[in-house]
Structures are given as structure tokens and as C-alpha cells.
Structure 1
Amino acid sequence: MTVTIDAWRITGQSQIDSYVGRWAELAVVLVNVLAVDHAQGRTRPLPATAAERLAALEPALADWRARHPRGAGGGGPLDTDRLAEVATALRPAFTDGPYAGVAELNALLVRHGAVPNLHGEPPVLAFHAVEADVAGAMAADAGTALAMVIGVGQGERLASCQAAGCELVFFDVTRNASRRFCGLACQNRAKAAAYRARRGKSTT
């Protein structure tokens, strides 16, 4: 499973800019890597050690660091245990309905001191305090982005795969928020299952 954060846009949707969208995609990566153990019809073990989590998140971490001033998030090691807790707190926003997870998000924003500010030169917008460590900064960035998506009435775009045996989440960027699956593999599995079900009914 790829964990890169791709270029982002919603066709015809001006309420959410690309900066917010990118950190909403960061939330998707955190949840899918650290909090989902059923993907595309298979059970998979979650990364259990700091080294496994770092390896799984490295593309997302590299993207996050590239978009923040040098030194953002402090210089210490990444607290992957805390980041796993962040992923668990972010997940209800995707899985429990379009406006679910609000209490968890509010608590996360307070816990990680989310505060919009500019720092670096040239100034870069961030949703975390300058003194935040990497885990706290990523939590504030991702959590604030989801809160902003929900706050502009687009919470239905935070969704989870509807294919059987898959709990991967995604940020729906289609024009009418009609996406149902995490990707083509699950879409094809669901179509095949529906076809088999129809054939079974026709033969009885």
C-alpha cells in the first residue's frame, strides 16, 4: 500500500484549499498506516515497533518536513507511540458518519496545542506551535485540516471503503462526493461479489 501524499484538489470545490487538503491526506495516511488492520479483503498486522512505524510513514514524513521550515517539529526522535494514538483519535472522523468524531478532534486539537501561525523564512502557514515536537506538529496539522473540512460542511468527504473486508479511509475529492471505495482493487472486488450474488439468485 502506498503512503505518499499526492497532489490534491476537489474539482469545483473552492471552500477547501490545497493546503488544507494536503494535511487531510496526511490524516488519511496516519489512519491507514497506524490504525487500520483490515485492508482490501485481508487482515494485516499493524506496525508494532518504532522502527516499523517509521519505515511505513517515511514518505509521509519526508513530505511533511519538505513543507515546513528547517527545524520545525523540534530535533528529537519521532514519538511513534503517540502518533499511533493520534491516528486512533483521527479515525472516527472518517468512519462514524460525516459529522462524527468531532469530540475526538476537539480533544486532539487542545491536547496538541493546535494554533494557526506563520514561521520560518519565507513564512509558512502551520497549524502547530513552533515549539511542538514532530508527533504533536503532525497531529495538529492533520487534526486542524479535518476540522476545517467538517467545518465548511464537507464532512461527507471523509469516508471509509465500503468493500467487504476493507477499513481503509480516504478523502473524497470527486465533484459530488460519490466515491465509495479506497481504490480500484476494492471496487473490482465489490463488483465481482455483487455479480456472484446476482447469479446465485438467478439460479435458485
Structure 2
Amino acid sequence: MFTAFLDANVLVPVHLCDTLLRCAEVDLYRPIWSTKVVEEAKRAICRVHPDLSESRVSWRFSNMNTAFPFSEISDKQWEGLVSGVHLPDQDDRHVVAAAAAAGADVIVTSNLKDFPVVELAEYSLEPVGPDTFLCDMLDLNPNAVQHAVRMQIRNLKRPPMSVDKLLGYLKRANVPEFVADYRSRFTD
């Protein structure tokens, strides 16, 4: 199965993260993340939403690991690779090392400039933005993506949400092409 390593910056916006994971639930791809990426995402969420308790944020990631029990790889699995990774931002080396150790095909990140194609090719990885990633899945299997979005809507109860409202949140989470493509295909 196609495997995608999810960088911390795509795990922070809750609706984007949920949409990505719902697509994995309908078997469009296998999601992977590392313990270090989860810790980065938790810190970012707490900075962006100081009103959320650390336990609430941790609960979210605990639920992710329950739903996808083989998706989180431990730091021990990739630490030996990190010193050989060369990137513009050395703080991102762990992402490539973890993705390579997990056998990922792509790294889904909003930070494409720090993941040069040439450097990632050395590890048989490709950087892809979340907008492109979701559009690719929509092209690959539109009905499965629609089902994933509908599942997401059904589970959003506090407060309840319409597809249109969810798509608005996703547009603000920097996946405007996906939103436009979804709207052009479906009227739900």
C-alpha cells in the first residue's frame, strides 16, 4: 500500500489532519508519523491554542495511535539515519530519516522548501504538499474521498458541521485546490 509520512505541520490543523486520516481509514494510503513529529505537533497546537490543555492535545494523538496502531514509529527506528540526511534546515532531518526508516513513498508537508526533491530522491522519497496529496487521492478514487469526508462530517457532533463549513476550514488550512476540486465533483 502507498505510504505517506505526515509531517507535524499537517497534523496541527485539526480538520486537515482529520481529513487526511479519514482518507487513510478508507484505505487510500497508509499514514506514518514519528514520536518526534507528534511531540512537535503537540507543542505547535499548544502555542496556537493556549486554551487547550496539554492532556486534551495528548488525547487527540493517543486516539490517532489507537485508530492507526502501526503508524507511529519510535525514534529508535530512525535515529541511526539522521546524521546522513542533508537538508536546508537541519532541524528537519529527523522527518526524512523517519520517513525513510518507515519505507514511506512521500512526505506530506506544508514546508516544501525545506525538503528538496534531489535530497529526498536519495531516500526514494518525494515531498508533496497536503493540497496536492488530497487532490491526487480525489483523482485516484473520488468516491472513497467523498465517503471519507462524509464520515468526517458524521463524526463532528460538537458542534455539528456541514460539508460546506468543513470545506471552508480546509480552505483556510491551505488546501484550496482540493476544496475547489471537491466542490466541482460533489454537491453534498
**Fold conserved (TM > 0.5)?**
no
Q: Whose helix proportion is higher, 1 or 2?
A: 2
- Largest Rg, 1 or 2: 1
Return the TM-score normalized by structure 1: 0.28
